[in-house]
Structures are given as structure tokens and as C-alpha cells.
Structure 1
Amino acid sequence: MKLSKIIFSLFFVATTAVFAQQKEITLEEIWGGTFSQERLESLNSLNNGKEYIILNQDRDAGTSSIDVYGYESGEKTRTLVNSSNLEEISRFQGYELSDDESKILLGTQVEQIYRHSSRGIYFVYDIPSKTLKKLTDKKIQEPTFSPNGAKIAYVHDNNLYVKDLASGEEVQITSDGKKNEIINGITDWVYEEEFAFVRAFDWNANGNHIAYLKFDEVEVPEFSMDVFGADLYPGASTFKYPKAGEKNAEVSLHIYHLKEKNTTAVNLGDYEDFYIPRIEWTNNPEILSVQVLNRHQNNLDLHFVNSANNEVKLILNEKDKAYVDITDNLTFLEDNSFIWTSEKDGYNHIYHYDKSGKLINQITKGNWEVTNYYGFDPKSKTVFYQSTEDGSVNRTVYSIKANGKNKKRLTEKEGTNSADFSADFSYFINSFTNTQTPYVFTLHDAKNGKLIRKIKDNAELLEKEKAYGFSPKELSTIEVNGNELNMWMIRPSDFDPTKNYPLLMFQYSGPGSQTVSNTYFGTNDYWYQMLANEGYIIASVDGRGTGFKGAAFKKVTQNELGKYELEDQIAAAKKLGNLDYINKDRIGIWGWSYGGFMSTNAILKGNDVFSMAIAVAPVTSWRFYDTIYTERYMTTPQENPTGYDENSPINHVDKLKGDYLLVHGTADDNVHVQNTMRLIEALVQANKEFDWALYPDKNHGIYGGNTRLHLYTKMTNFIKENL
């Protein structure tokens, strides 16, 4: 829908709507969970493909259970374990089932470390005998069953261990692990955050080899954060954090042989300053796949390593002028041929290679993106995936034969569809949402997408919302700088096109991101509804650099983070400001993290367009951010100093004219509060007035207790006072 069509529709809505007395929404309701959507509990399919299991928590009784349900009936058929029947533990927070489904690993006292990592006390429950054994008295990380369920490998204090469950024998594989020096079997901070994985070891199919990564981070610079707490003297959290252009951990690959009880180091070749973002054993128990990425992240090698002699063979090479994305889509078939996803033709698609790396065929193709690869059914030789074939703001589920033929659309409704398949790919549970519909969960036949049964919807939420008279989130496009950009807009429920409204824009804008999608309200959307009822129009525009419109659109920002994205936000604001019902002198913008970087630049470089901005946890110079993320898009500061500095808000503080609110958590291990402190100092020295707030001991998410309520109250008041 073009912008001109939006304007026409506004008059239609305004002249046909009849407004009754509406209930006013409050921040307390929003952050108190009044509008929470019902979700389907995290489920895992059993091997039979006919049943799935769910972890249920009985908060009143303080117990946990893992219950089995039938796909077709939805009825509970039995319980695998209930903590009320266990003497040693009252409840558990997570679980893992062994491959043969005879044992369950139960996690208790689990504590978060960083974004993905945690440690806890673990027990092994034997289903046939109904017996429970503590794995170890130590708090450990990433416990993982061997393929036959006889052993468990785990990490404690940066060392890798294996325990035999029958004999109780524990073997310590490594002994050099030490905090802030050597890590075995789990990733360092920057790998965890940017390559999105923690467990850096993998069992082979026979359970007689474990491949693992070792990180030597002795020479990586340390970052230290004050932790204020409640004691008389504050403490400090010190960890290795490689900032752009600085020394990374040296990573190496090793294979431990359980029978021989020895370890061999694998020489991957003549690489300098490289990453190993994924290791995974193939279906051949002697062949390990290893992905090696150069520091610029524009050259990816897929190697096969023969564990018998450590022979390394290059199977596949992927190059890109900008960067190559890392995924978990690599799937090995019975003959050790493999599925791979790539943007090499300009859009993300699925490819099939033989075991030597020769291309068999490109399975999907077209000017659209594969957004999720669900898996391969060996019986029907069918690939299941999610894509943007229905438009970049939508998601649809498809199946296609491995030869690229017989493609079937498995979901019918236009919006955002996401599938969870049974183990044998006979069923899938579809979650569906669009701008008018909160999540609906349904069960379907995977052969043709036929509806089997309805599972759960949010009809009660829709009924509750009627009293508030919320405005719709309207999707459209806006032509900016030669591109049709996706946009949503929320207007006051009593919108009058003859009136003049202030505009608040929200964006994130980071590479490959998306804020404009055909989905129902999130928590922030209810805040926007509240602001709309206060007389504001809220809009979001996904500019160049965002995702799901092809590689060229996404990678245009390479080496210039913040340049083209800002140009698009400024141009979109100007175009919206020219509409009769928007006050071009009252346009604000806000964002969090990358979005805070953008909103800060907007109030500085776009000071003739934006009169107000809020930045939460912003990057203020890419020199302060980590190597993997920053260098992927910017190379190093040594190679690209102007790219770093010309788009850094710190270097443009003299341009501040409007009202600016800066917010950060002091314990942000991701975007360090250093970013905000350096910007504050620059603004002070430029004698610029602004508002700022720090949240003690809060991380990048700034939450806990009343923190979010306090933050959004502060932002709401700032908007009402200044926009």
C-alpha cells in the first residue's frame, strides 16, 4: 500500500467510526501483564512422532512435571516425571531427554550468566526404574548426553568432564581451564553474544569421540563493571571483552578419544586471526564438520576432519563482498550429503550438496527469503521451511522436495506463520498472528497443511481489549530515497484528519533486523496505544540495512553503519511531516541499543527534523563495541576510521538543539555504560542541556521488579513534556 492510499483510508476511518466511552490504558496494566498473550508451552516431540512433552510448573504446589500429550487428541496421556514424587528436589527449571528417551537430565538452581549461558545443579532421572541420581555436587554448564545415554559431558570452571552414569566414574578431559584465561568446551563472551551458542563441544554418533573448542583469552583486554549491590562496598565484574580492532581469543579445535583417553589437536590450516563459529559431527562417526571464518567474516570455509588421522579437507567455500551469515541450518543426510543455506544468489535460499561438496541442486529460488529452515524428512525426501514468498512483512510455511519440485504451501492465512514439526514430520503445530489477531495455535497434517484441530487462541484477550477501543496497527509502505520501505502506523482512536498531531517514530534499524511485520501488538504497542490516546501518532519505518528484502538491501550499509539508515529515517520523517494531520515541528524518535544509536544520531544530524529523542542503552561509538558484531559490518577501526567516527554521536554533540533523554543500565555487559558516560562528557563539554538516567546493576534489558515500569513512566513523561 502506497502512502497516498494511507491518507485516503484515514478519512474513511474517521468518518465511519463511532466512538463509545473508552477505558483508559495505564502503564501499570501494560507492565503488570494485563495484556499478556497466552502462548503454547515449549514442547518437544517424542521419537514416535505421535506425542510431545511439555514442562509444566505448578506454582501453587511448587512442583514441576514433564507430561506427555497426544498430537491429535491434545490430551495428556502420561507423566514421565513429577518432582512431587522425588525426595531430592522440589522442582526443576529445565530438562533434556536422552536420545533413546530412557533418561531425563533435570536442571535445578539454574542461574543466568550472560544472554545464553547458565549454570546449575543437575540430576539424572531414569524413567524405567524411576530412580534419581545427582550428576555432581558442582554447579556445571551445558551437560549433554552421549548418543546412547550412557555418559554425560559437561563443563565446570572452564574445564570439560565426562561422567559414566552406570559406574559413576568421572574423567576430567582438560585441566588448564581458568577464568579470564583458558576456556574449554564453552564459548567466550563474544562468541556467545554474536555467534549465539554456548556449548562448544559435540559428541560423535558412536559416542567415542568428543570434539571441543579451546579459547585462549589471556591477551584479550578485560572490561570491568562496578556492581553496587546492597553492601557497604561495591564489587566488580571483570571479564574478557574484545572491542573492535582489539585482540580476540585464540581458538583451537581438539578431539578427545574416550577409548584411548587422549586428546589430539587439529591443525585446520594456514589461518591467521580466525573464528570457528560452528562444529558438528556428520552422520559418519569419524567425520567432523568445522566452519572457519576469517576475521572480516567475508570468507567461510566448511571443512571435514577425519578423526582417525586428523586429515582436514575443504568441502565448501562461501565468499561475500560484505559478510557471510552464520546459521544452524547445516543438516547431514544419511549419505552424508548436506543441506546448506546461502545468500549467494542475492536472497537466502536452501542448497543441497553431496558429501564431497559438489552442488546437487538449489532447492529454493526466487526474489524472496527463506527465513527459517525446519528440517528434512528422509522418508519423503521433503524439506520444510518458512519464507517471505507472501511479502517481506509476512511469513508462510512451505514444503518442497529435495530436488526442488512439488512445492506446497502449508499455511493459508496471510500474516506470520511459524511451525513446530513432530519428530517424524507427520504433524506441525502452527502459530499464527497478524495485526488483527493475537497468537492462534493449530495442529496440521504436514503432508498438505490440512487443519487437524485447534489448540489455543487469545479470544479472551480480544474481548478484554474491546473496552479500550484500541486503534489498529496499519501496515503500508512509504517511498524514501528510491526505495519502498515498510511502515506501520498507530493513530489516536478518535483520529480527526483536520487536526494536527505530533509524531513519535520508533526504529531499531540494525543490519538484518525488522520492526515492521504482520504481527499483533507486543508490549510496546500497548504503550503506543496509550500515547495515541494522549494525542500522538506513532510510526515505524524499516530503512535500508534492515532484513528480509534481499542481500543488497541489507548490506548497503556495509562500512557505514548509521549513514544510510539515518538518511532514511530523516527522509521518512520529512515526508510524514508534510501530511496535513502531522505537525512537522513536533516529530520525535526513540530506540533501544542500535535503535538508541540511531535516535541519538537523529536528534544531532537531523536536528532540523527531530525536536525530541530518547536513547536507551545506545552504542555511541562503534569503537566501544565488540569485534565480531562490529567488524562484520565495519571492518576494524584501523582499516575504516572515518566509517567509525563520522557516524559516531560523540563527534556531533555540538549539533544538539532539541530535547534529549539518555538512559542506560550500569551493569550492561553488552553495550557498556561507557558509551553513555563518554557521550555525557562530550555533551557537558559542549555545554548542551539534556536529561539522563542510570539504572544501577541493570543489564542491557533494564528490567527486574518495578524497573521497566519506572523506565516507561520516565519516557512517557518526557514525551508528554517535550513533544
Structure 2
Amino acid sequence: MKKQVFLFLSLVGFLAIGTAQQKQITLEEIWGGAFRTEYMDVLRSMNNGKQYTVLNFSRSPRSSSLDKYDYKTLEKVETLVASGGDIPFFSSYSFSDDESQILLATEVEPIFRRSRLGIYYVYDLASKELVKIAETKIQEPTLSPDGSKVAYVLDNNIYVMELANRTTKQITTDGSKGTIINGVTDWVYEEEFGFVRAFEWNSDGTKIAFLRFDETNVPHFSMDMFGTGLYPYQHEFKYPKAGEDNSLVTLHLYDVASGNTSNVDLNNPYYIPRIKWMNNPNHLSVQTLNRHQNDLKLWSVDASSNSVSLLLEETDDAYVDVDDDLTFLADDSFIWTSEGDGYNHLYLYGKDGKLKNQITQGPWEVTRYYGYDKKNNRIYYQSVENGSINRDVYSIATNGKKKKRLTSKEGTNSASFSTDYTYFINTFSSATTPYEFTLHTASDGKLVKKIKDNAALSTKLEGYEFAPKEFSTININGYDLNMYMIKPVDFDPNKKYPLFMFQYSGPGSQSVSNSWMGSRDYWHQVLASEGYIVVCVDGRGTGLKGRDFKKLTQKELGKYEVEDQIAAAKKLSELPYIDEERTGIWGWSYGGFMSTNCILKGNDVFEMAIAVAPVTSWRFYDTIYTERYMETPQENPTGYDDNSPLNYPELLKGKYLLVHGSGDDNVHVQNTMRMIEALVQANKQFDWAIYPDKNHGIYGGNTSLHLFTKLTNFVKENL
């Protein structure tokens, strides 16, 4: 690699963890759970705002219990329900709105990333009666507001069970695998719009709104599953690749009293990514999108007449994000988030859809909306106002005044508020501090009490060789990009070290954040202990630095992001302690797409690359994600092909490792197989591995350990 330009690093913090360096972290410890962090599992505030519930587990003997705690004292008040006797082990729970009934999930098994099947029970807190909803596994059971009924999906149809007499009524009858889905989403909605349950009770339990998906014309996809039997079998489902047909989605209303179902005419929208009832039981909100996802409409549906009126419309030259921040106040005025001024902020609209005022503003992003305290007229939210790699919790009045910062530690803060907004439990972590859970007053953020921390893990890590992340910015292509660097513990500035870059780079993503480590961060520690300098740079197109920065890559995925990684590698090689002849890069999924492009288009810069589960052509990926950023292949063929590594395999010069799971329902192994064939026909040597039946995460049993052992060996042998 040739030296090119001078590097300027503006350090924003040097983080260190302890000084003891007796042992090196091992792969076996990472994937054996040696550094597992403690959490607070499934915490929910009770309606009284004074107490909360936590789902607790015991491993030996295997058991679960739902326990109630007092916010003020943090002491356990009582156990509401526990496994044992007739009550099986349960892994999740939810309350009816009036908290008279608890829905318990047992024998849960995944379908796709978010969807689950399970055996479910309803536990009556007053009578202690346990009701099994169905003998077979069902999806998305949801209690009515008063707890008298439960709606669920079985075999693509919606059912409602009356708990008092245990009678069940089937609402839809046309559900059929591969054609019609009622009440739950199809694959692409689940993956890209982020929800599974596609039905909602209204506020008084008299109506159910639901979506119906007709996926008859969606192309059929199948994967060979090898299993343990004599013959493989095929896993089949509908998967719309970019430019292909999506499901036809329609909205319907079911009246509980009459048993009648009616259709709501939304003028044939292409997508319906959200439905949500307002406080008025006859008022339903519906969000619709066009295929390009750059024109979002918020509709109001009058359920008494099925009449539809437009509340709000938002357009963008690129795309409009869909989220769950929409909140209706008592009079059905509502809070909305938008990038309208160039950054994601909160807005207040009247029930007529007219803007009242912008609540938050500034050159920073709101990252989470927590809720509205009617009594004190306060809105609670999380933002990156204190630097885009950090998160803090704030409150503000609906008129945008009297803003308060409620968290003080620099790092990543997130909150879980009591129902009456008296308290919040703050979850804090940073690059040097594993998760801490503390109780605070919501009015001023004052610490009430510490709940739980990971001090034992911190103490344990002091016994290991551990290199801190150095956070900085690096100026690339006219932008100050967020970056971190991990150096070996015994770093000597007079020596030369190989550079190994990690990134994800997908639209709106963030890899450089001041938060606690995941398993891949621990792996980077292993590499640092072996004498590698690990660097991560968030290039153009990543998130939390404004609309224009994020959407700059529109219609050109893989162009500007790759240019930034190549330029960053060149600039980093100017450092006297970087060996410019030993530069590698790796990534997973979008990051694998990036690392593959980097070693091809940057073949004079990178000597090695690893791509795990990569996209190799956006023509192979799903409609909703891909077309949001690229339009369709028919409309933008050069955008798809100019940055597809399938089209220039002859550029490969360095060492390249390609890894995929054959059971990946998300980024299909087709991507890797086509890349393999392209490289073979270009007569390029490379390494590859396929993990049978493993999905996009490539895990299970010893799989993660085996995979990262392979990756580690490849790095050590080739960089």
C-alpha cells in the first residue's frame, strides 16, 4: 500500500479499563459465556406507577417467576405467578390493560427473526385460574383491554377466545400458507418494517383492526435443509426480491358484538406499515407508503362509518422512515417524529393533523421517544445531543421549553419509566463500564438507588489483558467521521503493526458508539492481544448525524461507503506505527458486502478481507429494504450493478475469505454461491466456508466458536 495523505485524529476520549494484564481473552471464554453480563429481564411498570414487574429465571431447577417490586424501596412485594404444578415454565408475559389477566408464553419456537410459535396460557390474578388458549402452537395472542377475551392467529387465520366460557370464534377463514395471511405479517414486512402482529384491539375491546396479506403473486423461495436424516428437505416461503411483486395488503375491521367484518378503502396503498387505534374507540390511525417509500400518509379511519380522511403527509427526496413513536394524547392530538428540518425531531400535531409546534430542535437526533406525562405536560426522550456516539435521557414540555437532561454519565443511557412518570430505571453502559441499572426520579433525574451492576464482571476483566477503545474523528472526503482504534496493550509507537478494519456501514447504522461490548468486541480484543490494531470507521450513509449525511448514499449503495473505507485505510497508513503492507477489513451482512467491495475496488490498499453472510448483488435482496435506498432494478440498473462485486471478480489480488450459512432466510446463500462462481471463472484463488442449515447469525452449539476460530486463523495467517 502506498503512503498518501497526512492523518489528523481529534481525540475525544481515551478510555481505559483497569491495569491488570495477567491473561489473554480466549475464544472459548467468549463463546462459552465467561463474560456474560447481568440484565433486568422483561421489566414493566404497573398501572399504579409505584411498582414494576420483572420476569426472573432459575437454572437449577429450571423455573420462572413473575415478581412485583416497589420502585421506592426496590424490594420484592410479591410473586404474582410462578412455574410449578399446573403452571409450566414460561419465558415471557404480558398483562391485560386492567392488569386482571396475565398472558404466559411457553414452548416458544422461532419462525423467522421476530415471529414465534408457542403454547400460551392466561392466568387470572384474582381467581388463580389458568386457561390454555389452544392445544396447538399459535402466534401473537393478545388480550382485550378488559382481559375478557384473547385474539390470536393460527394457520394464517384470526381467532377470538371468550375466557369466561372458553369458547372460541374464528374471525377469518381464507388463511392459507403461501397465499393469504390474516393478522400477522409476511416475511418481508416482519424483517423490514419490524413487526409481526398485524391486528389491534381498540380501546374498549369492541373492535379489532387487522391486515390481510395476499402473497399469491410473491415469488416462491426455497432452501435445502440438510438436517440429520437420510434425505435433505426444502424450507419454502415467499420472498420478494428487489423489483418483484409484493403482497397485496388490505385493512379490515371486525366488530366483536355483531361478528361482522368490513373492508376499509385506503385507495390501494402499496404498503401499510403501521396501524394504531387512537383513544377514541372509533378512531383508527393508519400509515401507508408508496413503493419508493418516499411518500408517507397518516390516515384517520372512523370505524363507525369506515370513512377515511388524511391527517398528515410527509415526503422526502430519498425515503421516509417508519417508526413506533406516534403517540395520541387524550384529545387525539398526537406526537410525531420527522426529519423535516434535517434531523430527527419531535413534533406536536392537533387531532385535525395541523402542526402545533416543533418540540425539539437542533443539529442532533432524537433516538427514542419514551412517553408523555399528562399531569406535568412533559415528554421524555433519548437523544445524541451530547455527541453522536453517546445517548442521554431528557424531558421537555410540549411547547419545546424547559428541557432537562436527566442522565449525567457519558455513554449510552436508556430509560424505562413508571406509568405515572414518577420514576425511571436507567440502563447505562459505556466502552469502559458494563451495564448498570439505577433508579431515578423523573422530575429531575436524581439518583434514588442503585439496583444492579456488573461490578463482578469489571473486576474479572481486570485480570485480563484488555486494550481500551480510543474514540476520535478522522476527516475523510470532507467529513469528520466517527472512529475508534484498539491498540495492543504493549503498544510501542516505534514498531509497525498490521491494521484490521471492522465496519457495517449500512444506511442509518452505527458501529462507533460509547457503549458496552458485544462478542465481536471481545474478539477484537483477542486480535489486539495478537498484535493487531483494530479500527472501526462509520462512513457516509451511517446514522445519527443528520438526514443529509445518512441519505447521501441514496441509489448508490456501496459507492460512497466503500470510498470512505478505502480513503480511511490510506490515511491511517500514514501513521508511523501502521504497516501499510498489512491492511485487512471484515464485516458481516452489509459489512460483508462492504469488505468484499473494498478488497476488489481497493486492491492496492487492502491485502486481506473477510466477508460473512454478505450481499453480493442487491438484486438478490428483498424489496422493502433494497428499494427504500435503491428504487427497483428496472429503474436503477447501474446503481445495482456498478457496485456489485459479482461484476468485477477479476480485481481480486489479496487474500479473501467468504463465509455463509446455508439456511440464511435473510441474505440467501445464493449471494455467496454466485460470488464463488464469479471468482472461479475469473480464476481467482480464495477461501470459503458454508455452515449447514445455519441462519444469518451463524450460531448454535459450537458454531460461533468454530467460525471465529476460522476467522482468527485466517487473520493470523494472512495479515
Q: What band does the TM-score fall into relative to the shorter chain?
A: over 0.9
CA distance, structure 1, for counterparts of residue 275 and residue 192 of structure 2: 16
Following TM superposition, by how much is the alpha carbon of 1:62 offset from its aligned partner in structure 2, in angstroms?
2.1
Following TM superposition, by how much is the alpha carbon of 1:135 offset from its aligned partner in structure 2, in angstroms?
1.1
Q: Deviations over 1:189-224 (max 9, x none)?
A: 000000000000001111111110000000100110
Name the aligned partner's letter for residue 562 of structure 2: L
CA distance, structure 1, for counterparts of residue 308 and residue 13 of structure 2: 62
Name the aligned partner's letter for residue 52 of structure 2: Y
CA contact (8 A) 1:19 1:494 kept: no
Aligned to 1:177: 175
Aligned to 1:209: 207
Aligned to 1:414: 410
Which residue of the other structure, out of 237, 245, 265, is the alignment partner of 1:239? 237
CA distance, structure 1, for counterparts of residue 41 and residue 64 of structure 2: 13
Name the aligned partner's letter for residue 110 of structure 1: V
Aligned to 1:68: 68
- Count of residue pairs the alignment pairs up: 714
CA pair 138-9 structure 1, distance change in 2 beyond 3 A: closer
CA distance, structure 2, for counterparts of residue 479 and residue 133 of structure 1: 61
Aligned to 1:282: 278
CA pair 461-21 structure 1, distance change in 2 beyond 3 A: closer
Following TM superposition, by how much is the alpha carbon of 1:83 offset from its aligned partner in structure 2, in angstroms?
1.4
What's the secondary structure of 1:211's corresponding residue?
strand
Following TM superposition, by how much is the alpha carbon of 1:530 offset from its aligned partner in structure 2, in angstroms?
1.1
Aligned to 1:620: 616
CA pair 18-617 structure 1, distance change in 2 beyond 3 A: closer
What's the secondary structure of 1:69's corresponding residue?
strand
Normalising by structure 2, we get a TM-score of 0.98
Q: Deviations over 1:404-441 (max 9, x none)?
A: 11100100111111111111111001111122211111
Name the aligned partner's letter for residue 292 of structure 1: T
Alignment partner of 1:55 is 2:55: yes
Following TM superposition, by how much is the alpha carbon of 1:329 offset from its aligned partner in structure 2, in angstroms?
0.3
Which residue of the other structure, out of 319, 325, 333, is the alignment partner of 1:323? 319
CA distance, structure 2, for counterparts of residue 224 and residue 184 of structure 1: 22
1:85-96 correspondence runs (5 A): 86-87=85-86, 89-96=87-94
CA contact (8 A) 2:592 2:614 kept: yes
1:287-436 correspondence runs (5 A): 287-436=283-432
CA contact (8 A) 1:157 1:179 kept: yes
Name the aligned partner's letter for residue 599 of structure 1: S
What's the secondary structure of 1:484's corresponding residue?
strand
Aligned to 2:440: 444
Aligned to 1:82: 82
> Which deviates the most, 462-471 or 644-653?
462-471
CA distance, structure 2, for counterparts of residue 424 and residue 556 of structure 1: 41
CA pair 6-466 structure 1, distance change in 2 beyond 3 A: farther
Q: Deviations over 1:364-409 (max 9, x none)?
A: 0000000000011111111000001101001111000111111001
Q: Deviations over 1:485-517 (max 9, x none)?
A: 000010000000000000000000000000001
CA pair 19-267 structure 1, distance change in 2 beyond 3 A: closer
Which residue of the other structure, out of 121, 124, 127, is the alignment partner of 1:123? 121
Following TM superposition, by how much is the alpha carbon of 1:19 offset from its aligned partner in structure 2, in angstroms?
8.0
CA contact (8 A) 1:612 1:722 kept: yes
Alignment partner of 1:587 is 2:577: no
What's the secondary structure of 1:618's corresponding residue?
coil
CA contact (8 A) 2:19 2:462 kept: no
Which residue of the other structure, out of 548, 567, 570, is the alignment partner of 2:566? 570
Which residue of the other structure, out of 464, 468, 483, is the alignment partner of 1:472? 468
Name the aligned partner's letter for residue 34 of structure 1: A
What's the secondary structure of 1:29's corresponding residue?
helix
For structure 2, the residue ranges without an aligned partner over 5 or more in a row are 1-5
CA contact (8 A) 1:3 1:476 kept: no
Aligned to 1:250: 248
CA contact (8 A) 1:589 1:614 kept: yes
CA distance, structure 1, for counterparts of residue 148 and residue 515 of structure 2: 44
Structure showing greater relative contact order (alpha-carbon pairs closer than 8 Å, 6 or more residues apart): 2
What's the secondary structure of 1:661's corresponding residue?
strand
Aligned to 1:708: 704
Following TM superposition, by how much is the alpha carbon of 1:6 offset from its aligned partner in structure 2, in angstroms?
6.3
Aligned to 1:529: 525
Following TM superposition, by how much is the alpha carbon of 1:456 offset from its aligned partner in structure 2, in angstroms?
1.4
CA contact (8 A) 1:435 1:474 kept: no
Alignment partner of 1:227 is 2:225: yes
Aligned to 1:147: 145
What's the secondary structure of 1:60's corresponding residue?
coil
Name the aligned partner's letter for residue 527 of structure 2: L
CA distance, structure 2, for counterparts of residue 721 and residue 289 of structure 1: 57
Name the aligned partner's letter for residue 250 of structure 1: L
Aligned to 1:597: 593
Following TM superposition, by how much is the alpha carbon of 1:522 offset from its aligned partner in structure 2, in angstroms?
2.1
CA distance, structure 2, for counterparts of residue 127 and residue 4 of structure 1: 63
CA distance, structure 2, for counterparts of residue 213 and residue 525 of structure 1: 41
Q: Deviations over 1:299-345 (max 9, x none)?
A: 00000011111110001000000000000000000001000000011
Cα RMSD for the two superposed structures: 1.6
Aligned to 1:25: 25
Name the aligned partner's letter for residue 25 of structure 2: I
CA contact (8 A) 2:150 2:163 kept: yes
CA distance, structure 1, for counterparts of residue 474 and residue 21 of structure 2: 33
1:503-522 correspondence runs (5 A): 503-522=499-518
For structure 1, the residue ranges without an aligned partner over 5 or more in a row are none
CA distance, structure 2, for counterparts of residue 153 and residue 90 of structure 1: 21
Name the aligned partner's letter for residue 315 of structure 1: L
Aligned to 2:3: none
What's the secondary structure of 1:254's corresponding residue?
strand
CA contact (8 A) 1:470 1:493 kept: yes
1:666-705 correspondence runs (5 A): 666-705=662-701
Which residue of the other structure, out of 454, 458, 462, is the alignment partner of 1:462? 458
CA distance, structure 2, for counterparts of residue 287 and residue 519 of structure 1: 41
CA distance, structure 2, for counterparts of residue 218 and residue 485 of structure 1: 45
What's the secondary structure of 1:485's corresponding residue?
strand
CA distance, structure 2, for counterparts of residue 166 and residue 51 of structure 1: 28
CA contact (8 A) 1:62 1:90 kept: no
CA contact (8 A) 1:620 1:676 kept: yes
What's the secondary structure of 1:24's corresponding residue?
coil
Q: Deviations over 1:651-687 (max 9, x none)?
A: 1101000000000000000000000001101110111
CA distance, structure 2, for counterparts of residue 328 and residue 9 of structure 1: 34
CA contact (8 A) 1:430 1:443 kept: yes
CA distance, structure 2, for counterparts of residue 402 and residue 587 of structure 1: 51
CA distance, structure 1, for counterparts of residue 545 and residue 88 of structure 2: 49
Following TM superposition, by how much is the alpha carbon of 1:242 offset from its aligned partner in structure 2, in angstroms?
0.2
Following TM superposition, by how much is the alpha carbon of 1:109 offset from its aligned partner in structure 2, in angstroms?
1.1
What's the secondary structure of 2:708's corresponding residue?
helix
CA distance, structure 1, for counterparts of residue 385 and residue 99 of structure 2: 38
1:155-194 correspondence runs (5 A): 155-194=153-192
Following TM superposition, by how much is the alpha carbon of 1:138 offset from its aligned partner in structure 2, in angstroms?
2.1
What's the secondary structure of 1:679's corresponding residue?
helix
CA contact (8 A) 1:3 1:477 kept: no
Following TM superposition, by how much is the alpha carbon of 1:469 offset from its aligned partner in structure 2, in angstroms?
2.9
Aligned to 1:101: 99
